[in-house]
């Protein structure tokens, strides 16, 4: 159990409230109001950014100097993204868990792979949309980029269940595919490294634009007044401290939860739900995953298209986005949002829905 230290006055207030069985009521600061122009500049100055509309802008945002993007490589990667030969029984492909017409994930609490096998840690599939904008991949950030990530599910026994050697043997038997690899990489011998690089190049094009991008680009009417209030809360309350960048997340590894409360420790002792007694999270720790190095450190999720990627958290334990916003405001920021504030933040998050830009 971690030690918690508060100002003496705060401690006294806490203990009086707890002993009296009363909720702790803190005075709420009035929300600041900005003009559309000021709010836009505030968002941009906070590190948020709109997704580019042109191929040249795409290259500037996501091109990898270790795997330079070309239109031919992207086309080859797209073909492989949908190629079921990358799975042992030839029934699965990358798109099986990353449904591009949805939110770029599979909307399941836990990923299901080869012969119906579930992820042993009950992890769900992070979205592939806008993933190239992130600084690391997977829930624990163990892969540095989408090229490295692309090789993981192919080899996982509970996902596609192949080995690099088996992939190379199977694909090299296709003369037409060998010719395409020769044109793209200058070597007709298909290697697993080149497979990953081609898929990665394609995934780098999967950026989405929506109403929020239009607002950042100067359209004052692109998002509603409620969404603007939600954006103001998102910035002023500190959500943007972790959910930052063009991807609105994915830029850092953060501890979760940052805060726990003494009243909850007391409640857990008396809790009739044994799943919560052993959970370090404010929800059941289904699967037992504890993030990076087992220290409850997780890659910050990408919030673009978050309204279409339920269920939420690493183990899919929460179905409603409103409850996710409440949990994050309470346990990460330390300032639990009111129902009205939650409604406004969700209105902002809906503006992050977008369609894949056809670069």
Residue from 339, 347, 324 nearest 257 by CA: 324
Catalytic residue among 159, 168, 318, 344: 159
CB atoms near residue 28 (< 10 Å): 9
In angstroms, the CA 327 to CA 348 distance is 17
Are 249 and 131 within 8 A, CB to CB?
no
In angstroms, the CA 328 to CA 33 distance is 23
| Residue 159 is among the residues annotated as catalytic for this protein | yes
Are 331 and 348 within 8 A, CB to CB?
no
How far CA 74 is from CA of 80, 144, 206, in Å, comes to 10, 20, 11
CA triplet 137, 358, 128: central angle to 5 degrees?
Answer: 15
Are 230 and 345 within 8 A, CB to CB?
yes
- The set of catalytic residues is 159
């Amino acid at each position: 159990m971690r030690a918690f230290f508060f100002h003496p006055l705060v401690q006294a207030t806490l203990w009086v409230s707890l002993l009296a069985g009363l909720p702790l009521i803190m005075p709420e600061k009035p929300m600041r109001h900005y003009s559309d122009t000021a709010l836009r500049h505030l968002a941009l100055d906070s590190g948020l950014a709109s997704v580019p509309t042109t191929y040249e802008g795409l290259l500037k945002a996501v091109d990898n100097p270790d795997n330079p993007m070309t239109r031919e490589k992207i086309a080859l990667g797209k073909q492989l993204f949908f190629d079921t030969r990358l799975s042992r029984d030839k029934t699965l492909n990358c798109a099986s868990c990353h449904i591009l017409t949805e939110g770029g994930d599979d909307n399941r609490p836990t990923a299901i792979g080869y012969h119906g096998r579930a992820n042993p840690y009950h992890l769900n599939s992070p979205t592939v949309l806008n993933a190239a904008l992130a600084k690391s991949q997977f829930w624990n950030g163990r892969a540095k980029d989408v090229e490295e990530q692309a090789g993981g599910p192919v080899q996982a026994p509970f996902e596609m269940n192949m080995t690099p050697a088996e992939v190379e043997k199977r694909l090299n038997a296709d003369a037409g595919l060998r010719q395409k690899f020769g044109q793209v990489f200058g070597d007709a011998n298909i290697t697993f490294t080149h497979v990953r690089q081609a898929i990665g190049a394609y995934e780098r094009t999967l950026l989405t634009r929506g109403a929020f991008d239009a607002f950042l680009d100067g359209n004052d009417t692109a998002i509603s007044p409620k969404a603007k209030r939600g954006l103001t809360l998102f910035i002023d309350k500190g959500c943007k401290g972790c959910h930052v960048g063009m991807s609105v997340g994915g830029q850092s590894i953060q501890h979760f939860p940052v805060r726990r409360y003494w009243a909850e420790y007391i409640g857990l002792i008396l809790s009739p739900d044994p799943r919560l007694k052993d959970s370090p999270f404010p929800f059941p720790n289904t699967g037992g995953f504890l993030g990076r190095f087992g220290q409850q450190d997780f890659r910050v999720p990408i919030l673009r298209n978050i309204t279409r990627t339920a269920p939420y958290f690493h183990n899919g334990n929460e179905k409603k986005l409103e409850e996710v916003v409440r949990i994050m405001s309470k346990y990460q920021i330390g300032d639990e949002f009111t129902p009205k504030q939650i409604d406004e933040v969700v209105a902002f998050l809906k503006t992050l829905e977008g369609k894949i830009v056809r670069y």
